[in-house]
Structure 1
Amino acid sequence: MSQDTVPWWRYPAYALGVFGSEKSFRNNPLLGNPRLNQLGLHRERVRLAAAMTDYRRRFLGLSVSAEERAAFERDGFVIRENALPRDIFERIRDFLKNEPLHAREMRQGQTVTRMIPINPGVLAKTPEIAHFSREPSITNLIRYVGGFGGDPIYFVQTIIAEPSIRKIDPQTALHADTFHSSSKAWLFLEDVGPDDGPFVFVPGSHKLTDKRLGWEYRQSLSAVGDKRSHHAAGSFRIMPENLSELGDFTPRKVVVPANTLVVADTYAFHSRAVSDRRTLRVELHAYHRANPFAPLPFSILPLFPGLRDRRLDLFLSHADRQARRTGKPPVWSDVGACTAYSEAHI
């Protein structure tokens, strides 16, 4: 975005974005300003966000076991096998295989992602799924890894890889989601093998070292003009061969049996593995990101009864209105009712 074309009255909103979770160098002319980044704007946002996250984790870690805290400190992710009682897990999986639910889909190259919000309607049909979305030991771990209080957003996620479509999935490039810690969680409903397009993670790359901070600074100087749209939007990409510049890092495929929970800090470098064959993976998924500069390890969300399980539906409705207003297709296409295991619709 050229600063010459931005109305002056928008700058107060852009300035507020600097003090929040806004990350796009292309959409916010202050974040993308080369002179400000030469002076260290992005670098200091990264540094301050990491310091505030460490502060909040001191309190959030009190609700997480010592073993899982140690695993996170070492690797940047936590793996918990047999996450749900076996009978509950099997009832959830059977329900999702057979019950059509309202779904959205998004295509990125050869990959389709399906999203089914875990909202009051889904919880009424299958109360067992609350063992994932409302289980304190799971929620507390997601909060700790992300470094935020409050409640994550929960949904059923299906990943369908179609390698016959010769288009690149941008999520198969190693990247960090944003400039600060945030967390994602996957409870896999089927075994995930090395050829099933598994999650790829770079253990230890969640830590803000001097080398990583220098790398962040260098990226910030040219990100606004980068041809990679995700990179310019603040989700920095890195080539595997460049990892050695930042430390002794080796990407790892996260291969796990069904009923395994994985919770990861997505400031670490990660990706989706490229699939050489058609694959379909279903998981219970959670996403947790908030203002990285918030000083307190809790949220005001509990003050609004009934909002917790409706936030994703509200977001999607807002996105639909925006799409109609601008005439652009929505990122998440409404595909009606289908099961989590059905074929892709887009």
Structure 2
Amino acid sequence: MLKCRILRSFWRFFARGVGAGVLRILKSPIWALDALMGQKSFKKNPIIGSRWLNERGFYLKRVAWAARMAALRRRQMVHFLPDDDKAFFHRNGYIVKENFLSKDVLAQLQDEIATREFAASEMRQGKTVTRFIGLPPSLLKDLPGLSRAVHDPFLQNAMRYVGSYNADPIIYLHAVLWDLEKKKKDPQTDFHMDTFHSTSKSWLFLRDVDVADGPFHYVPGSHRYTPERSAWEFEQSLNAVQHPNGMHAAGSFRASEDDILKMGYGEPVSFDVPANSLVIADTHGFHRRGIATRPGVRVGLFADLRRSPYFPWSGLDLRSLPGIKGRQSEIYTAYLNFRSKLSGKPSHHREVGHVKIDAPPVL
């Protein structure tokens, strides 16, 4: 009995001390590769979260190198957008187009989604529920209006140019619903940057968006760095791993409006826009979801494009290969389900069965 106790005590000591050290050594190459591939989390990766390294400029060097590679990739895609759209984007960090779809395509699309029920997943963040409906080829073949919107050449090319990758974006039919009775805060209503490098997100709004609906906000020019922005991010990098806000610690830095003004940027733009407006933004810039003040729902198409920030080439995208292209939503849902079963924890994106796009939230 005494020997068993001694062995158990020794194993606990080894697991917490020597074993943990050995495990860290074994994981070091994985963490290093993760950092090279674009991992942003200070908390998950001790190399990225190292105060010692970041005091010596490691984080800011990652930012600067990612910016150089994004500029190099965009030079390979100069023909993707008209010159005036490129100039507007480089100045402001976003592109906006009203009356985007033709009247015929818009009417056809809205008719296709008005009463149909779709397989959906939902994510709750405080008082807000975001509904995602994947749009694989097997679904789009029966919905020509929706298919034409998803494959619109300007949308596809602008997503690629803004995101600095000639790659297949993931696109959803998308709804944002909110419950004004809930007290818990929606974390997306804080100004934040998604990550340390260029990424693109777009919203094609299918209904009018009023100020009372909590529209998307973006700080013009905040995709570009000022000396004050660099200094602010340097300070954040030193202690991000211990930050009480989990999203900040994960590399999606949160900033107050006062912080943003001190960085040398101006006032944010609110995208309270009419139906059939397209907004595409580099979400490395500061942005947020507005705070809704009346019951309602926002309906549209949502696209997202993010790849490793360090590749010098704009193409060679594995997710654009036959059999994968257009099916990212299906693959991502399958991955989340697998991970949830493996961990025994519910996914942040939870399947909720078949619902209409503007039905009340399930979660």
Q: TM-score with structure 2 length normalisation?
A: 0.92
SS of match in other structure, 1:291: coil
CA distance in 1, matches of 2:266, 2:80: 29
Instruction: Name which of 64, 69, 72 aligns with 2:81.
Output: 64
Please identify, of 258-267 and 211-220, the stretch whose mean Cα deviation from structure 2 is larger. 211-220
1:92-171 mapped onto 2 (5 Å cutoff): 92-171=109-188
Task: Tell whether 2:343 aligns with 1:326.
Answer: yes
Number of the residue aligned with 2:27:
10
Instruction: Name which of 81, 87, 91 aligns with 1:74.
Output: 91
Asked if structure 1 preserves the Cα contact closer than 8 Å seen for 2:141 and 2:147, the reply is: no
Task: Tell whether 2:248 aligns with 1:222.
Answer: no
Number of the residue aligned with 1:261:
278
Please identify, of 148-157 and 263-272, the stretch whose mean Cα deviation from structure 2 is larger. 148-157
CA distance in 2, matches of 1:205, 1:43: 16
CA distance in 2, matches of 1:85, 1:22: 40
The one-letter code of the counterpart of 1:29 is P
Number of the residue aligned with 1:294:
311
Task: Tell whether 2:70 aligns with 1:53.
Answer: yes
Task: Tell whether 2:263 aligns with 1:240.
Answer: no
The one-letter code of the counterpart of 1:324 is K
Deviating beyond 6 angstroms after TM superposition, the runs of 4 or more aligned structure 1 residues are none
Asked if structure 1 preserves the Cα contact closer than 8 Å seen for 2:112 and 2:146, the reply is: no
The one-letter code of the counterpart of 2:359 is S
The one-letter code of the counterpart of 2:35 is V
CA distance in 2, matches of 1:55, 1:211: 25
SS of match in other structure, 2:197: coil
CA distance in 1, matches of 2:342, 2:276: 42
CA distance in 2, matches of 1:126, 1:311: 18
The one-letter code of the counterpart of 2:74 is R
Asked if structure 2 preserves the Cα contact closer than 8 Å seen for 1:96 and 1:341, the reply is: no
Residue 302 of structure 1: how far off its partner (Å): 7.3
Cα distance, 1:321–1:15 mapped onto 2, change above 3 Å: same
Cα distance, 1:126–1:303 mapped onto 2, change above 3 Å: closer
Cα distance, 1:136–1:277 mapped onto 2, change above 3 Å: same
CA distance in 2, matches of 1:240, 1:5: 44
CA distance in 1, matches of 2:335, 2:84: 41
Please identify, of 319-328 and 57-66, the stretch whose mean Cα deviation from structure 2 is larger. 57-66
Residue 330 of structure 1: how far off its partner (Å): 0.8
CA distance in 2, matches of 1:58, 1:319: 35
CA distance in 2, matches of 1:55, 1:177: 21
Please identify, of 133-142 and 265-274, the stretch whose mean Cα deviation from structure 2 is larger. 133-142
CA distance in 1, matches of 2:283, 2:22: 34
Asked if structure 2 preserves the Cα contact closer than 8 Å seen for 1:197 and 1:279, the reply is: no
1:265-280 mapped onto 2 (5 Å cutoff): 265-280=282-297
Task: Map Cα deviations across residues 205-224 of structure 1 (whole Å, 9 max, x no partner).
Answer: 11023222222211100000
CA distance in 2, matches of 1:244, 1:295: 33
Asked if structure 1 preserves the Cα contact closer than 8 Å seen for 2:170 and 2:304, the reply is: yes
SS of match in other structure, 2:77: helix
SS of match in other structure, 1:323: helix
Task: Map Cα deviations across residues 39-80 of structure 1 (whole Å, 9 max, x no partner).
Answer: 111110001001111111122232201121121122110001
Residue 279 of structure 1: how far off its partner (Å): 2.0
CA distance in 1, matches of 2:272, 2:141: 32
CA distance in 2, matches of 1:193, 1:51: 38
Cα distance, 1:117–1:5 mapped onto 2, change above 3 Å: farther
Instruction: Name which of 224, 227, 233 aligns with 1:210.
Output: 227
Task: Map Cα deviations across residues 66-108 of structure 1 (whole Å, 9 max, x no partner).
Answer: 1211211221100011111111111111221211010000100
Contiguous gaps of at least 5 residues in structure 1: none
Please identify, of 229-238 and 60-69, the stretch whose mean Cα deviation from structure 2 is larger. 60-69
Q: TM-score with structure 1 length normalisation?
A: 0.96
Please identify, of 209-218 and 229-238, the stretch whose mean Cα deviation from structure 2 is larger. 209-218
Task: Map Cα deviations across residues 258-315 of structure 1 (whole Å, 9 max, x no partner).
Answer: 1111100001100000112222001101000001111011133377312111112111
Contiguous gaps of at least 5 residues in structure 2: 1-16
Number of the residue aligned with 2:48:
31
Residue 176 of structure 1: how far off its partner (Å): 0.2
CA distance in 2, matches of 1:91, 1:178: 36
The one-letter code of the counterpart of 1:151 is D
Aligned residues: 345
CA distance in 2, matches of 1:7, 1:63: 45
Asked if structure 2 preserves the Cα contact closer than 8 Å seen for 1:46 and 1:213, the reply is: no
Task: Tell whether 2:248 aligns with 1:231.
Answer: yes
Identity %: 37
SS of match in other structure, 1:79: strand
